Amino acid sequence: MATTPTPHNAAVEGQIAKTVLMPGDPLRAKLLADTYLENVEQFNTVRNMFGYTGTYKGQPVSVMGSGMGMPSIGIYSYELFNFYGVDNILRIGSAGGLAPEVKLRDIVIGMSSSTDSNYPSQYGMPGTIAPTADFGLLSKAVAGAEKLGYPVRVGNILASDVFYTVDNSLTKWANMDVLAVEMESAALYLNAMYAHKHALTLLTISDLPLTGEALTAEERQTSFTQMMEVALSVVA
């Protein structure tokens, strides 16, 4: 295990729980810690990427922002898995719905993550590797959602390097029944696979880029709360 703290994380060994919830927005990390966790201690403020450790229903859990895009979550998740002894990372965030059956407010769980990024090329694989979620975390999340009464959609998602697309590439992904597009999951899954650890991505559909529909800020918060509760059900 490498020396801690790192240039990006002020925590030292033992300050971060084995399971980390990871929203993109560090202010959402603070909101989650303030709302759901007890006995909270902040372990990181470097680059304003806030990180906290506390307990949820008696279980240790940490929450930390990842920033936007695969390079950012790639750094933080790599360090958490390989330097801090974290076993499980659950990304919780928003996404754009692609497949026709996906609607606003839906909760989507990424069973696998296609990508237009060259992030996988660093592994030098002799073929194409499929970034995949951990089945144990996935099954717990689905069971938790059922218990809470929240419907979820499970399937393939797209992790893209591009937020503002200028071509029709999203339509092509939708035609392959890719459920949603976001910008982080493939890097997270690949880092977990390389470290022999566990990862899962849970998403709230906040907009439909192919139709232009989108939630209001208030509607986003309500839907995000349901998705956070599903993620926390995996911890409890």
Walking along the chain (236 residues) 10 residues at a time, the average pLDDT comes out as 90 98 96 97 99 98 99 99 99 98 97 98 96 99 98 98 94 98 99 99 98 90 90 96
Whether 29 is in a domain gets the answer yes
pTM of the model: 0.97
Is residue 11 domain-resident? no
In a domain, 7, yes or no: no
Question: Which CATH number fits the domain that encloses residue 125?
Answer: 3.40.50.1580
| Domain assignment of residue 228, given as a range | 19-235
Answer whether residue 201 is part of any domain.
yes
Overall domain count for the chain: 1
Does a structural domain hold residue 2?
A: no
Burial of 217 (0-12, 13-18, 19+ CB in 10 A): exposed
* Residue 167 forms part of a structural domain: yes
In a domain, 38, yes or no: yes
Known catalytic residues are 207
Structural domain includes residue 13: no
pLDDT at 106: 96
Angstrom distance (rounded) from CA 202 to CA 112: 11
pLDDT value at position 1?
60
Entry field: residues in the chain: 236
- The owner of tokens 């372990």 is 43
